[in-house]
Structure 1
Amino acid sequence: MILLDKPYVSDFLKETIVNNNFPAIDTGNITEHGELNLIQPEQIVAEFRNNADSRIYTNSENSINWVVNHLGFTKLPEYINVFKNKVEFRKLIQDMYPNFFFKEVGIKDLEAIDLDELPMPFIIKPTVGFLSLGVHKVLNADDWQQVKKIILEEFTDARTLFPLEVVDTSSFLIEEIIDGEEFAFDAYFDEKGEATVMGVLKHPFGSDKDVSDRVYYTSKKIIQTYLSRFASFVKDLGNRARLKNFPMHVEVRITNDGKLIPIEVNPLRFGGWCTSADLTYLATGMNPYQYFLTNQKPDWERLIEEMDDDIYSLIILDNSTGIPSRQISSFDYGSLLKQFVKPLELRKIDYKLYSIFGMLYAKTPKDKFVEIENILKSDLREFVSKG
């Protein structure tokens, strides 16, 4: 079963629902009338009461509130909380990483923080958050003064866009910086608690201070290199939380000395806004939504063998222009597309509401990787007009 909610449902997910006749409800008025053959919410509740191994997937964390309110008799709210709350997640894995520093602090206590008690540099992010909203890297005391001001501005807007279960601005997690390369992957646990990895993405950054979600990409080589290691990690994680019939999106870093340290786990979904699962399908032909809901395990040996050698990327066109979205009159999507050898799909977003111009999927030959490097470092000002 599938819960659909704002901000975005892809055509690919809609087609998956129709082609597989998956039961779905719209918890956010995101679909058009008659677009999908939706069921009644009571049918989902009844299914979970009658079948302990029922599965549910949501494209958006906005639906978490619905799950908590309607499926409280299941394990789902417990699973959600231990991962959605970043402090609870750090406590879950604390004995795996006993020397890792983390500290929870209330928003009202930001001014009283003693920097001498914190590792410098450090990361601060909301205890319950989404995308890179409110995530900041603090390199020194001067940075800290600026970050505090930015945090207060960001969360004044966030309160109006996302429910409390998606972004909770009451407290923040401060933790040490994890050096190394960053990756993201999707996974699910079956009725026996066995873990299956559904795709692997690399998440590069444009600079040492960059904490954005601008680019994720995958390739045959990336999947071959990291699949088994990520599968081993998520198996251990599932055993700790005793997960069953549950999907997740995991972000990790591989340190310079080869150690895997998790950043966060996003519950009940793969990449939000229909991102990572759709990218995996474009790169491999395997449909992660279908595989999870029908309890299939990908034949990775065959899938990798059939993949080409190109790079498949997701580019999140967040507003990094420095110009408030309300002051931007247009975005030149045509000029953007010309920067790529083979754009696959462009998804335009209401940037005045979400401060994201859109999302672009692209296929890039290995010898043209510079196009990914360029968009990673771009502030996108060349594509906008003020008005």
Structure 2
Amino acid sequence: MLILDYPYVSKFLKSTAEELQIPVLKNEMSAELNKDVEKGLKLLEESEFIELIKSKNECVIYSNSENSIGWISGNLGFTGLPEKIELFKDKIKFRELLERIYPDFYFWGIEFEKLDEIRVEEIKKPFIIKPSVGFFSLGVYKVSTDEEWISVLSRIKAEVEEIRDRYPVQVLNTGKFIIEENIEGEEFAVDAYFNSAGKPVVLNILKHIFSSENDVSDRVYFTSKSVMETHRETVEDLLKELGKLAGLKNFPFHMEFRIGIDRRIQPIELNPMRFAGWCTTDIAHFAYGINTYRYFLEQLEPEWDKILEGKDGMNYCLVILNRSAEIDPKSVETFDYEKLLSDFEKPLELRKADHEKYGLFGYLFTETNNNNWYEIERILKSDLKEYITFKKTISLP
């Protein structure tokens, strides 16, 4: 069963729902989507949707967006999902769960209004500060020295003012923050699910790369044969432990984690009920022919040995066109998407977004050969100004 919600449903997800005739909750988003599909979505009114779930011994539910968390909490309490969602969505509760596996990990929560009271000199550095309930890298900062704190605090306050009304509080709540020790190592993300028997099934692993040591933005993720073969077993071992701790079954999720040079894996956060946000999980389709929605809903498992044949030297990248905080959104006149596309060897799909509303110009999926990796390094470090035409200011006499 599907719950489709704002801010974005990809054509791929919509066509999957239409083709498989999966029951879809009728809400504002799904009703709007149903206007331009040939076969039609299998829409169910709220009461029908709830009753269908009640009639099943086990129910497999996927939501593309955390905007639906409020509806799930208010209507599906009998499934046990609201408690599971809160356990992972609240980063403080998630850390408390993980204490059984990582007893020495340092973290604590603090109200936004009390950030000015922090005695930063008493906190071990580097540390990460972010909203306890967050989305993307909104409000996330790394603090390496005492001197950096004043600047970071100022940026947090400015960003909170800008983003506090952009998403529902279940998705992004800037009222409380978590401070935690910095997790060293390379960063990754995984789209996976626990099946009806509680077994974790990995559908994709993405490596998150950064432009500098203090960069915490979401600009580039990529997947490849090397990434999958090197890290899949390590990820599966962690997920088995996590599944036992939380008792997870029929549960899709997107988890971010780091792997240190000692091969130790440490979760950063786990986003419940969905795969990579804004339907960017579709990169698994471009890279490996895996429809992550169908695999979860039909409880399918990838045959990785076959899937990865012939994939040597190829990287499948997700480029997030996030607008720099220093750019006034009102100053942007146009964004040159054609120029952007021309700067890549093999762009696969471009998805545009309203930067004033969401803080990003869109997403780009690419296929990049190892020999052309420079195109990824270039966009990773770009502030995107080469693609932006700014409005002309009128000087008054």
What is the TM-score normalised by the length of structure 2?
A: 0.94
Q: Which residue of 1 aligns with 2:29?
A: 29
Q: Which residue of 1 aligns with 2:395?
A: none
For residues 107-186 of structure 1, the aligned pairs below 5 Å read 107-186=112-191
Picking from 371, 376, 390, the partner of 1:372 is 376
Once the two structures are TM-superposed, the CA of residue 28 in structure 1 deviates from its matched residue by 4.7
In the alignment, is residue 382 of structure 1 matched against residue 386 of structure 2? Answer: yes
Paired residue secondary structure (1:305): coil
Bigger CA drift: 125-134 or 34-43?
A: 34-43
Paired residue secondary structure (1:270): coil
> Match for 2:387: what amino acid?
F
Q: Which residue of 2 aligns with 1:340?
A: 344
Once the two structures are TM-superposed, the CA of residue 377 in structure 1 deviates from its matched residue by 0.8
Q: Hey, what's the Cα distance between the residues in 1 that align with 2:335 and 2:233?
A: 41
Paired residue secondary structure (1:16): helix
Q: Which residue of 1 aligns with 2:15?
A: 15
Q: Which residue of 2 aligns with 1:187?
A: 192
> Match for 1:375: what amino acid?
I
Bigger CA drift: 46-55 or 306-315?
A: 306-315
Any conservation in 1 of the 2:26–2:45 contact (CA below 8 Å)? no
Any conservation in 2 of the 1:193–1:245 contact (CA below 8 Å)? yes
Bigger CA drift: 50-59 or 151-160?
A: 151-160
Once the two structures are TM-superposed, the CA of residue 27 in structure 1 deviates from its matched residue by 3.9
> Match for 2:35: what amino acid?
G
Bigger CA drift: 22-31 or 134-143?
A: 22-31
Q: Hey, what's the Cα distance between the residues in 1 that align with 2:261 and 2:34?
A: 51
Once the two structures are TM-superposed, the CA of residue 33 in structure 1 deviates from its matched residue by 4.8
For residues 197-212 of structure 1, the aligned pairs below 5 Å read 197-212=202-217
Any conservation in 1 of the 2:142–2:214 contact (CA below 8 Å)? yes
Paired residue secondary structure (1:196): strand
Q: Hey, what's the Cα distance between the residues in 2 that align with 1:364 and 1:217?
A: 10
Once the two structures are TM-superposed, the CA of residue 309 in structure 1 deviates from its matched residue by 3.4
Q: Which residue of 2 aligns with 1:285?
A: 289
Paired residue secondary structure (2:262): coil
Any conservation in 2 of the 1:321–1:381 contact (CA below 8 Å)? no
Q: Hey, what's the Cα distance between the residues in 1 that align with 2:26 and 2:286?
A: 25
- Give the alignment's Cα RMSD to 1 decimal: 1.3
Q: Hey, what's the Cα distance between the residues in 1 that align with 2:127 and 2:249?
A: 34
Once the two structures are TM-superposed, the CA of residue 191 in structure 1 deviates from its matched residue by 1.4
Any conservation in 2 of the 1:342–1:362 contact (CA below 8 Å)? yes
> Match for 1:356: what amino acid?
L
Q: Which residue of 2 aligns with 1:316?
A: 320
Q: Hey, what's the Cα distance between the residues in 1 that align with 2:360 and 2:366?
A: 17
Once the two structures are TM-superposed, the CA of residue 39 in structure 1 deviates from its matched residue by 2.1
> Match for 1:325: what amino acid?
P
Deviations 1:299-339 (A, max 9, x none): 11211225453110000000027211121011011111111
Q: Hey, what's the Cα distance between the residues in 2 that align with 1:52 and 1:115?
A: 51
> Match for 1:20: what amino acid?
L
Q: Alignment length, in residue pairs? A: 386
Change in 2 beyond 3 A, CA 1:287/1:56: same
For residues 216-255 of structure 1, the aligned pairs below 5 Å read 216-255=221-260
Structure 2: where are the runs of 5+ without partners? 392-397
Once the two structures are TM-superposed, the CA of residue 89 in structure 1 deviates from its matched residue by 0.4
> Match for 2:17: what amino acid?
I
> Match for 2:3: what amino acid?
L
Q: Hey, what's the Cα distance between the residues in 2 that align with 1:321 and 1:129?
A: 17
Once the two structures are TM-superposed, the CA of residue 258 in structure 1 deviates from its matched residue by 1.8
Any conservation in 2 of the 1:4–1:28 contact (CA below 8 Å)? no
Structure 1: where are the runs of 5+ without partners? none
In the alignment, is residue 103 of structure 1 matched against residue 108 of structure 2? Answer: yes
Q: Hey, what's the Cα distance between the residues in 1 that align with 2:376 and 2:27?
A: 35
Any conservation in 1 of the 2:121–2:146 contact (CA below 8 Å)? no
Bigger CA drift: 26-35 or 140-149?
A: 26-35
In the alignment, is residue 6 of structure 1 matched against residue 6 of structure 2? Answer: yes
Once the two structures are TM-superposed, the CA of residue 29 in structure 1 deviates from its matched residue by 2.8
Any conservation in 2 of the 1:331–1:384 contact (CA below 8 Å)? yes
In the alignment, is residue 78 of structure 1 matched against residue 116 of structure 2? Answer: no
Q: Hey, what's the Cα distance between the residues in 1 that align with 2:21 and 2:380?
A: 38
> Match for 1:204: what amino acid?
I
Paired residue secondary structure (2:235): helix
Identity among equivalent positions (%) equals 44
Deviations 1:156-193 (A, max 9, x none): 23222111100111110000111110000011011121
Q: Hey, what's the Cα distance between the residues in 2 that align with 1:26 and 1:44?
A: 8
Change in 2 beyond 3 A, CA 1:353/1:223: same
Q: Hey, what's the Cα distance between the residues in 2 that align with 1:271 and 1:80?
A: 16
Q: Hey, what's the Cα distance between the residues in 1 that align with 2:384 and 2:21?
A: 40
Once the two structures are TM-superposed, the CA of residue 151 in structure 1 deviates from its matched residue by 1.5
Q: Which residue of 2 aligns with 1:54?
A: 59
Q: Hey, what's the Cα distance between the residues in 2 that align with 1:40 and 1:217?
A: 38
Q: Which residue of 2 aligns with 1:299?
A: 303
Q: Hey, what's the Cα distance between the residues in 2 that align with 1:144 and 1:283?
A: 40
